[in-house]
Amino acid sequence: MANSSSALPSDPRWKRAVDLSSPAAEKSQDSLYIHSLKNILQSGLTRGSLVEASGVRSSGKTSLCMHILARATQNGEVCAVVDLHNSFHPDSAAASGVQLDRLLWIRCKCNPEYTMKAADLLLHAGGFGVVLLDLSEAQPRMLNRIPISYWYRFQRAIQNTPTILLICADAPQAKAASRHSLECQPQAISWLGQRTFTRLCGITTLARQKKLTSIHPEPLQISVA
């Protein structure tokens, strides 16, 4: 068969690989814009960085993380959840808008060593939009044993990539290694029903940027299905 490679440059349908641009790849490098956090994150979540969401129990930090995952998966990104206590609830995530067919769920069975190793493998493998590292309800003694060097290792693994490492915990963990530190503070809890039978129907919380104290907190309304 004759070699037709010499004819390719003259055909306008052919381009060199270096001349091709991928709109999806360019879009993935943009910040992840979260409309509900537009006041405290005007430019969105920075790609290639660590983001922390912290707060006490029932502060809304997990719902905030689900909202971020929903935004990323609806953009067509593949995301992951590294779950220390197997507390991720797929039905609740789906109700929040998370596209489960674009989500990898790793259950670590309360083993902190497996949890950190799984996160490390995912971040170095690449290809994820958001990796949620859920350390909620972990004992402070266990969290204090995590070397600070881990967070800088994670930071180096994702810098200059589209990946965001989202850390959900009762208190900030990554310290100076994180780009954004969001703290949720519960303000009010709404109940529905009579005294003898009530159910939780919503939480009002304030989300604030701990690293930018000049920005006013963002009020969030979290509905419970």
Residue 114 in domain = yes
Which residue is listed with tokens 């808008």? Answer: 97
Residue 130 in domain = yes
Residue 30 in domain = yes
Mean pLDDT of 189-202: 79
Lowest-pLDDT choice from 32-46, 87-101, 127-141, 200-214: 200-214
**Digit-coded pLDDT (tens) for 75-112:** 999 999 999 999 999 999 999 999 999 999 999 999 99
Q: Report percent pLDDT > 90 for the chain.
A: 60
Mean pLDDT of the chain: 83
Mean pLDDT of 198-225: 68
The span from the CA of 139 to the CA of 143, in Å, is 6
Report the domain count for the chain: 1
Inter-residue contact 45 to 180 (CB < 8 Å): yes
- Tell me: pLDDT of 25 over 50: no
Residue 203 in domain = no
Residue 172 in domain = yes
Mean pLDDT of 186-190: 80
Residue 102 in domain = yes
Residue 66 in domain = yes
Residue 155 in domain = yes
Q: What is the CATH number of the domain that holds 50?
A: 3.40.50.300
**Strands 103-107, 79-83: parallel, antiparallel or unpaired by DSSP?**
parallel
DSSP 217: P
Host domain of residue 101: 25-181
Q: Describe the crossing of helices 112-125 and 148-158 by its angle, rounded to 10 degrees.
A: 20
